[in-house]
Amino acid sequence: MGNKSNWIRPYGDTLNDGKIQLSFSLPIPCNAIGEEAAKKIALQMGIPNPSVVHAAALSEHFSFYIVYGTAEHQVDIANLHVDEVESKSMSKEEIEDYIDQNFSEPLVFIGASTGTDAHTVGIDAIMNMKGYNGNYGLERYKGIHAINLGGQIDNEILLEKAIFHHADVILISQTVTQKDVHIENLTKFIELLEAENKRKDFIVIIGGPRINHSLAKELGYDAGFGPKKYAFDVASFAVQSLKDKGVKSKK
């Protein structure tokens, strides 16, 4: 069971009281039957005495619910493991100094939102000069040549451009994740690299709202970054990995 102090439960008013809030939509009208269905679903999830505290119609045949309840489950955090990126996080200035000290020429980063994904907010936040939330993008970094291909870029085109520009790092952003379409697309890119015998030629990094490092490693990528990550997080990992590979190393 482990140390008792390591066991935790959700809480709302009192520590470990188990109080939780769920929200979900149902493909039925918003009425008494809909509310009862919402409660039954919560019960089947192991939440005793659930209470529907909000119900709203989304359309004639769809409805939305917020349910309060008490979770009886708990977890032992001593037994939890999270696969995280293992690199020292550096500031923009530290990264620029690191590049100047360790590389003989600028590093080339190429990025895109691939497949049918037209959302470029993520890749723009990492690559564009203005960046996001006060953190400049890679275009503003000394020693980095950043190439942003934008959205809806086929895997084959991304690889073709990466080879043409002699890229050191490939960045892929995936925002559209319905029915795990991002998993299929990301898997196909690694398969493409391997089929062309190019996997070892690049540091390949993925990012997006449902991306984490564990998933990235599982799919064959070097690293994965989820929400609230910035250009300096990505660049810190990339430049250290390139140094380890001996890419463009100063003699």
Distance of CA 97 to the CA centre of its chain: 27
Give me 35's structure tokens: 């509310």
In this structure, the answer to whether residues 72 and 134 fall within a common structural domain is no
Give me 130's structure tokens: 């203005």
Per-residue buried b or exposed e for 142-167, using 16+ beta carbons within 10 Å of the residue's own CB? ebbbbbbbebebbbeebbebbeeeeb
Q: For position 123, what pLDDT does the model report?
A: 95
d(CA 75, CA 55) in angstroms, rounded, equals 30
Domain boundary among 76, 104, 126: 76
Its sign, for the CA torsion 232, 223, 203, 171, is: negative
Give me 203's structure tokens: 């540091």
Question: By residue range, what is the domain housing residue 227?
Answer: 92-245
In this structure, the answer to whether residues 219 and 144 fall within a common structural domain is yes
Q: Are strands 7-8 and 75-76 parallel, antiparallel or unpaired?
A: antiparallel
In this structure, the answer to whether residues 185 and 72 fall within a common structural domain is no
Domain boundary among 44, 76, 108: 76
Contact 141, 98 (CB under 8 A): no
Helix (H) or strand (E) holding 189: helix 181-195
What residues have CB less than 8 Å from 184, skipping those under 6 apart?
none
In this structure, the answer to whether residues 47 and 132 fall within a common structural domain is no
In this structure, the answer to whether residues 70 and 99 fall within a common structural domain is no
Q: For position 3, what pLDDT does the model report?
A: 52
In this structure, the answer to whether residues 31 and 100 fall within a common structural domain is no
In a domain, 50, yes or no: yes
In a domain, 221, yes or no: yes
In this structure, the answer to whether residues 59 and 177 fall within a common structural domain is no
CA distances, 26 to each of 35, 178, 201, 237 (Å): 10, 17, 47, 42
pLDDT tens for the chain, 251 residues: list them.
445 568 899 998 888 899 999 999 999 999 999 999 999 999 999 999 999 999 999 999 999 999 999 998 889 888 887 777 777 899 999 999 999 999 999 999 999 999 988 889 999 999 999 999 999 999 999 999 999 999 999 999 999 999 999 999 999 999 877 778 889 999 999 999 999 999 999 999 999 988 999 999 999 999 999 988 999 999 999 999 999 999 999 86
In this structure, the answer to whether residues 222 and 111 fall within a common structural domain is yes
In this structure, the answer to whether residues 160 and 43 fall within a common structural domain is no
Active centre residues (catalytic):
130
Domain boundary among 76, 110, 125: 76
Helix, strand and coil percent figures for the chain, each rounded to 5: 35, 25, 40
Give me 226's structure tokens: 């989820």
d(CA 126, CA 120) in angstroms, rounded, equals 10
Q: For position 5, what pLDDT does the model report?
A: 60
In this structure, the answer to whether residues 110 and 225 fall within a common structural domain is yes
Q: For position 197, what pLDDT does the model report?
A: 97
- pTM for the model: 0.77
Q: Which residue type sits at 40?
A: K
d(CA 89, CA 59) in angstroms, rounded, equals 47
In this structure, the answer to whether residues 57 and 154 fall within a common structural domain is no
Distance of CA 193 to the CA centre of its chain: 21
